[in-house]
């Protein structure tokens, strides 16, 4: 395996995540950088009338930046099988990426 491929695999756990519980009433994805709240992204409710994954899928993309001007874009997918997210645009600095953490907070009602 090449160096760049291995580097991408190593960073993947910082770039994306999943929560196996469907966000029936939506919720929020808290994004932290160095244990400091960076952004709160909205988790949409899935399409509850959909019969399968594809029909229940609802997407939300959000742009945000940190205090140093680093820009990020996150793609959040909500479906009948859970919530997935992935940073689609982020700084090239590996140390910044490795400082990112996520926490899911689903709405109760």
Total domains in the chain come to 1
The 8 Å CB, 24+ separation contacts for 50-58 are 50/79, 50/80, 52/80, 53/79, 53/80, 53/81, 56/80, 56/81
pLDDT band of 13, cuts 50, 70, 90 = confident
For residue 58, list its beta bridge partners: 78
Q: What is the DSSP string of 42-102?
A: EEPPP-TT-SSHHHH-EEEEEEEE-TT--EEEEEEEEETTEEEEEEEE--S-HHHHHTEEE
Query: What's the pTM value of the predicted model, to 2 decimals?
Result: 0.89
Residue 74 has pLDDT above 70, yes or no: yes
Write out the residue range of the structural domain in which residue 20 sits.
3-106
Task: Express each pLDDT in 75-106 by its tens digit.
Answer: 999 999 999 999 999 999 999 999 999 999 99
Residue 1 has pLDDT above 90, yes or no: no
């Amino acid at each position: 395996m090449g160096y760049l491929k291995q580097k991408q695999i190593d960073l993947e756990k910082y770039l994306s995540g999943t929560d196996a519980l469907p966000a029936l009433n939506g919720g929020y994805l808290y994004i932290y950088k160095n244990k400091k709240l960076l952004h709160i992204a909205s988790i949409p409710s899935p399409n509850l009338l959909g019969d399968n994954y594809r029909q229940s899928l609802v997407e939300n993309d959000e742009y945000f930046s940190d205090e140093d001007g680093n820009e990020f874009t996150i793609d959040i997918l909500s479906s009948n099988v859970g919530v997935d997210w992935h940073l689609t645009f982020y700084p090239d600095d590996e140390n910044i990426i490795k400082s990112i953490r996520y926490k899911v907070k689903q709405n109760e009602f």
